[in-house]
Amino acid sequence: MLPKIKEDIISVLKKAIPALKKEDFTELSDLSNRTIHDASIFQDADSISCAVLMYSLSKFCQQCKEKDISLPNFAAQLEKALDLLKKDNIKLYENKIKEIFKVMKKYDEKVNIYFEEAIKRAKIKKASWMHEHGISIARTAELLGVSQWDLRNYVGVTKVPDKNLGGLTAKKRLEVARDLFK
């Protein structure tokens, strides 16, 4: 794990733990975007996994609260993950993150959020964010393990395509098309 990625994930975990303890799930959702910059530049599994985890946790915990289901002690799990990461036990850190996902999956029956679908939605959302940061749709779909069909369908309804990045004007592009079909 690159030092910058480690530093940024540590920073996210340090904020996520108190957010979980005071049940501020919006903060968790916001934290999921902090590692997207790293994910876009380095495209490493750990930044991506951290972003997906924070977002999934925010939705999962929100659902538990709404359904009055007692939350598993994710804060304690994240504290262990943080400790492992600080000590450079990267493999054990990654396993701990996977464990947290498994806990959410085990709770699926009670919470009824269809865990697999929830994770898929989290991945699509984070892929869309990475695309907004300048990574192509196909590349982000590949990195997050989602289908281009789902991702394009999602990105289309966001404001992402509305930014003007330059290139041919609409009129010019239409002229090109007319030329091709004359």
Partner 1 sequence: MKTLVFDTGPIISLALTNLLWLLPELKKKFKGRFLIPLSVKKELVDKPFHGKKFKLEAIQLMQLIENKVLEVIDEDKVSKRAKELIEEANKIFKGFHHNINIIQEGEMEAVAMAELYNADGIVIDERITRTLIEHPPGLQKHMERKLHTRLSVNKQLLEKLSDQLDDVYIIRSTELAAIAFEKGLLNKYIIPRKVTKRDVLDATLWALKLNGCSIRSDEIRKISQEVVK
Residues that bind partner 1 (CB under 8 A): 2, 4, 37, 40-43, 131-139, 141-142, 147-150, 152-153, 155-157, 160-171, 173-174, 176-178, 180-181
Judge contact between 140 and 130, C-beta under 8 A.
Answer: yes
| CA 138 – CA 155 distance, rounded (Å) | 12
CB of residue 67 to partner 1, shortest distance in Å: 27
Min dist. Cβ of residue 80 to partner 1 (A):
28
Residue with Cβ nearer partner 1 (76 or 177): 177
How would you label 112-149 residue by residue, b for 16+ Cβ within 10 Å and e otherwise?
Answer: ebebeebbbbbbbbbbbbbbbeebebeebbebbebeee
| Pick 96 or 126: Cβ nearer partner 1 | 126
Which CB sits closer to partner 1, 70 or 169?
169
Measured from the CB atom, is 37 or 105 closer to partner 1? 37
Q: Min. distance of Cβ 172 from partner 1 in angstroms? A: 10
Distance of closest approach, residue 18 Cβ to partner 1, in angstroms: 24
At residue 18, φ and ψ (nearest 5 deg) are -65, -30
**d(C-alpha 113, C-alpha 107), whole Å:** 9
| Residue among 132, 129, 131, 127 nearest 150 (CA) | 127
Residue closer to partner 1, measured from CB, 47 or 77: 47
Residue 77 Cβ, how far from partner 1 at the closest point, in Å? 29
Q: Which of 47, 64, 61, 55 is nearest to 123 (CA)?
A: 55
